[in-house]
Chains A and B, each alone.
Chain A
Amino acid sequence: MYPFQKIRGFLFYLSVLLFVAGLPFILSYALGYKFNTRTFKFVKTGLIFVRTQPAGASIYLNGRLVAEKSPASMPELLPGSYKVTLELTRHYPWKGQVEVEAGKVSRVEKVILFPVRPNLQQLNQEKFSSFRIDNEKRVVYYLDQEKGVVYRSNLVAGNFEDIASFPDRFSQVNGWEVAPDRRKLFIFNQHQISVIFFDNQVEYEHPASSVILDYSQARIVNVFWHSDSYHLVVLTDKNIQVIESRLGTLPVNLVELNKASEVAFYDTRGDTLYFSDSQRSADGSFYNNLYKLELSANLYLLERLITQPFGQVNPAHKEAAGE
């Protein structure tokens, strides 16, 4: 026999021994068993896996630090309930109770650690009564009803500027919205809509002056900008109208309503108005329908979305509808 064959034989049997002796331990570990050196018995354990956003949180189990940085796993835990605390500097800690089952993984994976106050930033420099965020252009519009002024700033509290004032004879703003072209806004109350320009508007006859549209015959519930930034879709307690945002034009009455609809949704991308109205059934009872009104440039189509009643009409509404 060659001398190297003896060494090789030794290595071979050592490898076999390692495999035979090591495999039970590896498989036991994989299955979650822990060898108790005191009792010389295998005990089936479970484990907790923790992942946080952001990573790097210290992990405490029952008040004892067990891992410096998440993500981490705590293996070989005896079955039972554990108090888990996750701590990260300048973030609110996360605390919770986690159940550990034998041979199983308890995953704590959807933890978001929220930062504490240093991330809180004040954006306004003046008082205001309401605001709108334009996320696309990264600006914020403030409306100060008391002073009748509209401000604008960016989202990091810079470029703060006064961009428009209310017309003199306009009082009590119920709602407002900046036009999609971001060059004007409307404000409205129960019987008036005013369009206020931020700069000169070439398509208007009297640029730089606000326009007031009176609605004395109906109560304005809501107003929406059409995507062309020129037409306004007006929801009143009696009807739905479209009106140009300038003086001297008459509104177009699109839908007569059976009852006042307090809630409506306008999709500017598709120029579609979703609203509800009541309908009388054959047995004389009233039920609500949801309608989709398409207002894109060439299409005005009233389409019934839901034919099944989804709520009986209040008897008071029945009366209002002339029942």
Chain B
Amino acid sequence: MNKARLLKRVLEIIPGGLSWGIIILLILLAFLHPVASAMVIISFDFYWIIRTVYLTTLLIMAHQRLFQQKNEDWLARCRSLSLSLGFSQLYQVVIFPVYNEGLEVLRPSLTALSASHYPMEKIIVVMAFEERNISAHDNALILEEEFRGKFGSYLSTFHPDDLPGEARTKGANATWAAKAARKFLDARGIAYEQVVISCFDADTCVDQEYFGCLAYHFLTSDKRHRASYQPMPVYNNNIWEAPFFARLVEISSSFCQMIESMRLEKFVTFSSHSMSFKTLVEIDYWPTNMISDDSVIYWKSYLYYNGDYRVIPLYVTVSLDVAYSNNIWRTMMVQYKQKRRWAWGVENFPFVVDGFIKNKNISLLNKIRRSFHLLESHVTWAVWAVILVVIGPLPLIFGGSFFSQMAIAYNLPKITGLLFKFTLLTSLTWIFLSWTILPLRPKGISWFKHISLIMEWVFVPFIILVIGSAPAIDAQTRLMFAKYMEFNPTLKGNKVL
């Protein structure tokens, strides 16, 4: 094994090793020294209470910003700008990488795009199909017929299978499509500096104001080419039809992303996002062999520009499908696999640290800070539910009669109970906020659904048990043992428009 490979393996082992180390250590501590174990658990409980309150406050702030900017006429604001790069010179390239999604998923995404409050002649749509998908050409033809005239330009690309150095990932397809777009721009003499590129999941339905908001932030940013632009993903497309389990998980995911948007020093791109086309070309496009292309593109840029790169949050939504299946068990599996794929973002850690080691221009402090944030977020994801749900009661179970006589044995469940009361309090806030971001109730769905949407939050502890930490542990363990995951798109439900 050469040095580079050895370093990569060590870095791949670190997150899973840390997570498993914490879990095993705490379990052993519960057996060997229940008092110390109880103290660690109480400390973690207290940390979690404070963290929950803090994050809920950030969520409220993000929510408030989202609603504040909801009715903003971004287009008017863009037109009022007088900058060297004018709004009229700006082009939007929109890529939809398609894996095997059918017309029922793609059509609403294009319909939403065509309804954008933005000059359509400035939008270049690239439908990026996979050549290996047997219905790709047929679907491409149908969509071209329906949507060709609705945008400035409309391209269909077909990504060949098994290109050297590529894995079957969304990034490989998006890169192929971006290169096609580059040729298109070159042919028309459009400078890359004038182009913003958006890479959307196939089920992404943009808000009408998205491109106006994006254009405004792009034009007014002091270093517009040193930033990615991240909208707020909400899983609203089919939320009224989705089973409670999937709905709750996805609402929580939306909220987590909103919270992240308030922590700019940690904020990285996720799912559908936009960036300068010039930047994309300079950093050599999305990675073609990594699953978490959406976040790796940020880290690639960060490393390429020696740390001078950021993500600007856009407080405007893009709506995606809730992933679910036809029964609760299969829905849980679908959700589990989707979250595991997200947790596979842990592959960023070896990528980033390896990049930091090679890069001599980023300050050591920044390297440590960013590496720590990345590692901490993945390790916390993998251990928090295990500590709260599994390890929490262990000192009481294995402490024996001596431990049960101790004051700490008596106080441990009281303090844990306090944690759950706080969680309940924050849940009430989350319930209220989730209710405010719901789309309009479709026809045929009873008014009582509103009640059930609130009542189903009682299942949150059950959901924490099922997909709290397990997908992250799964992903990190796979990375530890070099069992690399393959891109496996999530099963999407029907949309409601």
Residues of A within 8 A of B (CB): 2, 4-5, 7-8, 11-12, 15, 18-19, 22-23, 26-27, 29-32, 45-47, 49, 73, 75, 103-105
Q: Is the C-beta of B179 less than 8 angstroms from some C-beta in chain A?
A: no
Question: How many Å lie between the Cα of A282 and that of B263 in the bound state?
Answer: 95
A207 to B38 CA separation, bound complex (whole angstroms): 76
Q: Which segment of B2-10, B299-307, B402-410, B478-486 sits at the interface?
A: B402-410
For the A-B complex with A8-B262, A30-B39 known, give 16 more contacts whose Cβ atoms are closer than 8 Å. A8-B263, A11-B58, A15-B54, A22-B50, A26-B43, A27-B42, A27-B43, A30-B42, A30-B407, A30-B412, A47-B410, A103-B407, A104-B405, A104-B407, A105-B404, A105-B406
A47 to B58, CA, bound (A): 39
User: In whole Å, how far is B413's beta carbon from the nearest beta carbon of chain A?
Assistant: 11
Is the pair A105, B50 in contact by a Cβ cutoff of 8 Å?
A: no
In the complex, what residues of A have CB within 8 A of residue B412's CB?
A: 30
Q: Is B497's beta carbon under 8 Å from chain A? A: no
Cβ–Cβ < 8 Å partners of B406 in chain A: 32, 103-105
Is B264 interfacial (CB-CB < 8 Å)?
A: yes
CA distance A4 to B64 in the complex (A): 11
Whether a CB of chain A sits under 8 angstroms from the CB of B47 is: yes
Note all chain A residues with C-beta closer than 8 A to B53: 15
A103 CB to nearest chain B CB (Å): 5
Chain B interface main SS type? helix
Q: Which residues of A contact B415 (CB under 8 A)?
A: 26, 30
Of the candidates A18, A23, A32, which one forms a contact with B408 in the assembled complex, judged by CB atoms under 8 Å apart? A32
Whether B57 sits at the interface, judged by CB under 8 Å, is yes
Is B51 an interface residue, CB under 8 A from the partner?
Answer: yes
In Å, the complex CA distance between A92 and B411 comes to 31
Contact of B46 among A8, A26, A32, A104 (CB under 8 A): A26
Query: Of all chain A residues, which has the CB nearest B62?
Result: A4
Query: Given A2-B264, A8-B58, A8-B262, A19 and B407 touching (CB < 8 A)?
Result: no
For the complex, what is the distance from the CA of A12 to the CA of B263, rounded to whole Å? 10
**A30 / chain B contacts, CB cutoff of 8 Å:** 38-39, 42, 407-408, 411-412, 415
Q: Which of B33-53 contact A (CB under 8 A)?
A: 35, 38-39, 42-43, 46-47, 50-51, 53
Is B223 part of the contact surface with A, judged by Cβ < 8 Å? Answer: no
Q: Does B421 contact A (CB under 8 A)?
A: no
Q: Known A19-B46, A23-B46; judge A7-B61 contact (CB<8 A).
A: yes
Residues of the B chain whose Cβ atoms lie less than 8 Å from the Cβ of A23: 43, 46
Q: Report B-chain residues with C-beta under 8 Å of the C-beta of A49.
A: 410
Is the CB of B79 closer than 8 A to any CB of chain A? no
Q: Is B65's CB within 8 Å of the partner chain A? A: yes
Q: Which of B449-484 contact A (CB under 8 A)?
A: none
Q: Which of B136-168 contact A (CB under 8 A)?
A: none
Q: Which of B35, B46, B58, B263 has the most CB of A within 10 A?
A: B46
Residues of B at under 8 Å CB distance from A?
Answer: 35, 38-39, 42-43, 46-47, 50-51, 53-54, 57-58, 61, 65, 262-264, 404-412, 415
A271 to B405, CA, bound (A): 48
- Which B residues are in CB contact (< 8 Å) with A45? 407
CB of A15 within 8 A of CB of B407, answer no
Interface pair B42/A4, CB less than 8 Å apart: no
A73 CB, min distance to chain B CBs, angstroms: 7
Closest to A5 in B: B264
With a 10 A CB-CB cut-off, give which of B53, B404, B406 has the most chain A CB atoms: B406
A46's nearest neighbour on chain B, judged by CB, is: B407
15 contacts between A and B (CB under 8 A): A5-B264, A11-B58, A18-B50, A22-B46, A22-B50, A23-B43, A27-B39, A30-B42, A30-B408, A31-B39, A32-B407, A75-B407, A103-B406, A104-B407, A105-B404
A15 to B42, Cβ gap below 8 A?
Answer: no
State A26–B54 Cα separation when bound (angstroms). Answer: 19
Does A26 lie within 8 Å of B264, measured CB to CB?
A: no
Partner of B50, one of A15, A29, A75, A103: A15
| Contact of B263 with A4 in the complex, beta carbons under 8 Å | no
Give the chain A neighbours of B263 by CB distance below 8 A.
8
Q: Which residue of A lies closest to B412 (CB)?
A: A30
What chain A residues lie within 8 Å of B50 (beta carbons)? 15, 18-19, 22
Nearest CB of chain B from residue A24's CB, rounded to whole Å: 10
Q: B46 contacts which chain A residues (CB < 8 A)?
A: 19, 22-23, 26
**Complex: how many Å from CA A19 to CA B262?**
21
Q: Is the CB of A31 within 8 A of B43?
A: no
**A7 and B62 alpha carbons, distance in the complex (Å):** 12
CA distance in complex: A47, B411 (Å): 10
The distance from the CB of B211 to the nearest CB of chain A, in whole angstroms, is 22
Assess whether B58 is in contact with A31, with CB atoms less than 8 Å apart: no
Q: Which listed residue, A2, A12, A18, A31, touches B407 by the CB 8 Å rule?
A: A31
Once the chains bind, are B54 and A11 in contact (CB under 8 Å)?
yes
Are B408 and A4 touching (Cβ within 8 A)?
no
Tell me the smallest distance from the CB of B255 to a CB of chain A, in Å.
16
User: A34 to nearest B CB, angstroms?
Assistant: 11
A27-B42, A30-B39, A47-B410 as given contacts; A105 in contact with B51, CB under 8 Å: no
Name the one of A5, A19, A105 contacting B410, with C-beta atoms under 8 angstroms: A105
Let me know if B42 and A26 touch, CB within 8 A: yes
Q: How far is the CB of A100 from chain B (nearest CB, A)?
A: 10
C-alpha gap A75/B406 in the complex (Å): 12
Question: What separation, in Å, do the CA atoms of A104 and B262 have in the docked complex?
Answer: 45
Q: Tell me how far the C-beta of A22 lies from the nearest C-beta in chain B, rounded to whole angstroms.
A: 7
B39 with A4: CB separation less than 8 A: no
| Residue ID in chain B nearest A32 by CB atoms | B407
Question: Is there an interface contact between A105 and B54, defined as CB atoms closer than 8 Å?
Answer: no
